[in-house]
């Protein structure tokens, strides 16, 4: 029986490349492709795939948020995060969301195939380049070198992304159906957690972890 896959990336050329690799394997069946988080969530509810391969940086929500919503509805789905970033916090939050794998976008095609095969058998796959990062983070969180920064929640990551994209407090509040006062409170909480003191520093952090980019 084929492994049914949904592919999620906001760049069509990337989707086409990955889809071509997957479709060349008789074990795989790419049942849908999506360019944003909301579409991915709708497809997973409609099609109940075995595996979702999903970019972390999406135009409407982060892959972390989408993963939590997908797995909240169907915890049997296996999610493989796809990213060009190796930031510890991003890897951690994606795995904490319930993802079964974390692949770097510069991985070889055989690594992609291997990752899908492994997670479909209830195993975890992390790109070798970030394996040490994952292990170190696990040790840190279990008392070896505790971190001083508290991780951001999915809602806080969303607000950070909107701020980094130039949205005002009022615009962010409208998009999230929250009051401006609530968004401002969350913004201050984010700054406290990250120990930053300006919007410029927030944007720099969002760029560093791949939450946003300087591209149009």
Fold of the domain built from segment(s) 3-141: Rossmann fold (3.40.50)
Comma-separated ranges of CATH 1.10.10.10 domains in the chain: 154-208
pLDDT for the residue 88? 74
Q: Are strands 101-104 and 78-83 parallel, antiparallel or unpaired?
A: parallel
Average pLDDT over residues 142-148: 44
Fold for the domain defined by 154-208:
Arc Repressor Mutant, subunit A (1.10.10)
Q: What's the length of the chain?
A: 216
* pLDDT at residue 19, rounded to an integer: 95
pLDDT digits (tens, 9 = 90+) for 23-69: 999 999 999 999 999 999 999 999 999 999 999 988 888 899 999 99
To which H or E segment does residue 125 belong? strand 125-126
Sheet holding 3-8, edge to edge: 28-34, 3-8, 51-55, 78-83, 101-104, 125-126
Mean predicted lDDT score pLDDT of the chain = 85
Highest mean pLDDT among 30-34, 88-92, 141-145, 146-150 belongs to 30-34
- How much is the pLDDT for 32? 97
Position 150 confidence tier, pLDDT thresholds 50, 70, 90: low
**DSSP string for residues in 37-91:** HHHHHHHHHHH--SEEEEESB-SSSBHHHHHHHHHHH-TT-EEEEEES---HHHH
Q: Above 70 in pLDDT, residue 149? A: no
Domain with CATH 3.40.50.2300 in the chain: 3-141
Whether the per-residue pLDDT at 139 is higher than 90: the answer is no
pTM, two decimals, is 0.67
């Amino acid at each position: 029986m084929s492994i049914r896959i949904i592919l999620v990336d906001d760049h069509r050329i990337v989707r086409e490349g990955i889809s071509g690799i997957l479709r060349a394997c008789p074990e795989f069946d790419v049942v849908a492709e999506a360019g944003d988080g909301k579409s991915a969530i709708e497809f997973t509810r409609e099609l109940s795939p075995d595996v979702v391969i999903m970019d972390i940086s999406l135009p409407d929500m982060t892959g972390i948020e989408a993963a939590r919503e997908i797995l909240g509805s169907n915890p049997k789905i296996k999610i493989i995060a796809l990213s060009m970033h190796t930031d510890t916090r991003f890897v951690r939050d994606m795995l904490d969301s319930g993802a079964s794998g974390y692949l770097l976008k510069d991985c070889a095609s055989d690594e992609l195939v291997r990752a899908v095969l492994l997670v479909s058998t209830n195993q975890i796959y992390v790109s070798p380049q970030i394996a040490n990062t994952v292990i170190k983070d696990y040790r840190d969180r279990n008392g070896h070198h505790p971190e001083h920064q508290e991780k951001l929640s999915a809602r806080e990551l969303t607000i950070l992304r909107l701020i980094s994209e130039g949205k005002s407090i009022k615009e962010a509040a409208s998009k999230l159906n929250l009051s401006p006062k609530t968004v401002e409170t969350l913004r201050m909480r984010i700054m406290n957690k990250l120990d930053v003191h300006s919007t410029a520093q927030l944007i720099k952090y969002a760029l560093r972890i791949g939450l946003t980019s300087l591209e149009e």
